[in-house]
C-alpha cells in the first residue's frame, strides 16, 4: 500500500514522501494516525508556492551626473533647522 507520513518524519520519510508499506502494518499505523494513504488528498500541499515578481530597481534614483556616474543621495542640511 502506498502511504505517506501525516505530520512528522516516519523513519527516513518526511511528510509528503510516498513509499510502499505492507498492507497489514500500514492499516495499523493509519488507524493510530502516524500514516495516511497516498491517494488521499494532501491538505498541506494544495497551494502553489511561488515568489512574487521582483520589481525593477532604478540604478540611479537621483539621476546621473554629466560624466555619466550616478548621483549620490542628497546630504542632510543642518543649516535649515537653525
pLDDT, one tens digit per residue, over 21-75 is 999 999 999 999 999 888 755 555 556 666 777 777 778 888 899 998 988 888 8
Q: Which of 60, 55, 81, 54 is nearest to 72 (CA)?
A: 60
Residue 44 has a pLDDT of: 57
pTM over 0.75: no
Residue 16 has a pLDDT of: 85
Amino acid at each position: 500500500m502506498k502511504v505517506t507520513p501525516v505530520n512528522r518524519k516516519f523513519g527516513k520519510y518526511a511528510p509528503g514522501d510516498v513509499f510502499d508499506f505492507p498492507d497489514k502494518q500500514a492499516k495499523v499505523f493509519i488507524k493510530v494516525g502516524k500514516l495516511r494513504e497516498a491517494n488521499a488528498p494532501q491538505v498541506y500541499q494544495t497551494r502553489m508556492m511561488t515568489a512574487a515578481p521582483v520589481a525593477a530597481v532604478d540604478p540611479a534614483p537621483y539621476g546621473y551626473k554629466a560624466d555619466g556616474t550616478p548621483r549620490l543621495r542628497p546630504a542632510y542640511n543642518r543649516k535649515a533647522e537653525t
